[in-house]
Structure 1
């Protein structure tokens, strides 16, 4: 069976608890609960180590992936390009207006307006341009035959949700409305001839349309 691409959101951070828009690396470290979440998640890989383990450059992603590395002995690759969507002028803010503005831009991306940008930060297009080539590289190198193992990538909620929805055609309303909790995953299956199918989104299985929440959330908190 062909391996899957598993996109994992990092464990809980101090910025998550404080409701801060923390997007610029290295960023906040894991809380005690975040370490516990990461360790529990890592144990799910003990009996089936991934073929590849990677994380973004952010401290929280590296810390989360480090537990998988120790549990499986699969060496961690820290790669550029798969960090969180930059909040720009909203960075480090925790007020409702900042969260509302970020969430509105995130919703526009999922409505198809990828040119929309956070002031001083990312557009949807800029996230895709840096993130998707990394996944394409993993696919071409590790997911090209029926004996390949899974590729595990520890990354960030907003970026994972945007990239996964665009690559797989998951309904934008579902993608914008349904949060990924810390250490939740989105699982992508490579399709013959190119393209991806979404096999799992947090706790949801396909088809995704009409499931879960119907209100856009802040994907970073």
Structure 2
């Protein structure tokens, strides 16, 4: 059985400011994000992870740097990068304030995973680039514990794929900076064991 720990990166200044940071924004953790990373390390440093996977963006690697420094093998993949928000990256947009953004989110929820913001990616495209990584995970020895750190929207897409949900359900998977999902894979089926666990952040 593979035990899969899926982690969203820690807080950045863009998170605080409500600015969209997709695959084209390579931001770093802020002070609180680094504190969150320290707390996750304190809570899970005893887990014998066989491998650490991150996206190619620095905020994910910074979130699990202690595990990498411990000597756990680390690989980074563009497949785990955040969705591209196209021309809207680096801007502050919310469903309440921006009609174009709200319309795109509504199309996703209505079952159109091919909708996208101008110049950006669709969830269907994110899912497609994640599939080789999913195949890589499933090729690993089935007695490993694996840590994967990625991004909010990319995490939602990945969870839908692993658990067999349509992408229209992705917003049902809430996320939080340094929030953890834990899944088990038995060789044919993923099951969720921890749904957005943030208990380590209050320790």
Same fold (TM over 0.5): yes
| From 174, 184, 190, the counterpart of 1:196 | 190
Residues 44-97 of structure 1, C-alpha deviation per residue, up to 9 Å, x if partnerless?
A: 232122111011010101111212223x43132122211001101211111446
User: What is the aligned partner in structure 1 of residue 62 from structure 2?
Assistant: 63
Q: 1:171 to 1:125 in 2, by over 3 A?
A: closer
2:86 to 85, 88, 108: 88
Does the aligned pair in 2 maintain the 1:65–1:76 contact within 8 Å? Answer: no
The count of corresponding residues between Structure 1 and Structure 2 is 197
Would the alpha carbon gap of residues 23 and 196 (structure 1) be closer, same or farther in structure 2, given more than 3 Å must change? same
Q: Aligned pair 1:179/2:174, yes or no?
A: yes
- Could you tell which deviates more after superposition, 163-172 or 82-91? 163-172
- CA RMSD, Structure 1 to Structure 2 (Å): 2.5
Distance 1:20 1:102 in 2: 13
CA distance in 2, matches of 1:80, 1:6: 19
Q: How does 1:151-166 map to 2 (within 5 A)?
A: 151-166=146-161
CA shift at 1:187, angstroms? 2.2
Cα 1:100–1:16 change in 2 (3 A) is: farther
* Contact kept? 1:9, 1:185, Cα under 8 Å: yes
Structure 1 unmatched ranges of 5 or more: 205-221
What is the distance in 2 between the residues matched to 1:41 and 1:173?
A: 30
Contact 2:181 2:197 in 1 (8 A): no
Match of 1:213 in 2: none
Instruction: Give 1:18's aligned residue.
Output: 17
Q: Distance in 2 between matches of 1:77 and 1:199?
A: 25
1:90-149 Cα shifts (integer Å, max 9, x gaps): 11111446766445434533443221222211111100011121122022123xx3xx22
| Residue 163 of structure 1: how far off its partner (Å) | 1.9
C-alpha displacement of 1:200: 2.4
Task: Say if 1:100 and 1:166 are closer, same or farther in 2 by CA, change over 3 A.
Answer: farther
Partner residue, 2:76? 78
